[in-house]
Amino acid sequence: VVVRFRAIGNAPILKQNMYTITASNKFMAVIQFLRRELNYKHSDPLFLYINSAFSPAPDEIVNNLFKSFNTDGKLIVNYCTSPAWG
């Protein structure tokens, strides 16, 4: 699954914003991957949203999110350092 990360607010911008992630992974793998890319510790605040709309449960399967919410063949994941959408 192609995942496109978009920074919101004062969140740091990634040098590369599109990655391929295994469809069978849980969304927690996406969260952990983004934390590694940003060099964020587990204690640093990081909020992820799908299509600027909702935050999926960490145990949600990436392929299920992709099937339901993909945009032009990509899963759009917005991220920020403070809550933005709910």
Domain ranges of the chain: 2-80
Asked if residue 19 has pLDDT above 90, the reply is yes
Class at the top of the CATH hierarchy for domain 2-80: alpha beta
The tens digit of pLDDT for each residue in 24-59 reads 999 999 999 999 999 999 899 999 999 988 999 999
- 64 three-state secondary structure: helix
Question: What pLDDT, on the 0 to 100 scale, is given for residue 83?
Answer: 86
pLDDT tens column, 55-86: 999 999 999 999 999 999 999 999 999 887 65
What is the pairing mode between strands 47-50 and 75-80? antiparallel
Laid out side by side, the sheet with 2-7 consists of 18-20, 2-7, 75-80, 47-50
Average pLDDT of 8-32? 95
Name the pLDDT band for 6 (thresholds 50, 70, 90).
Answer: very high
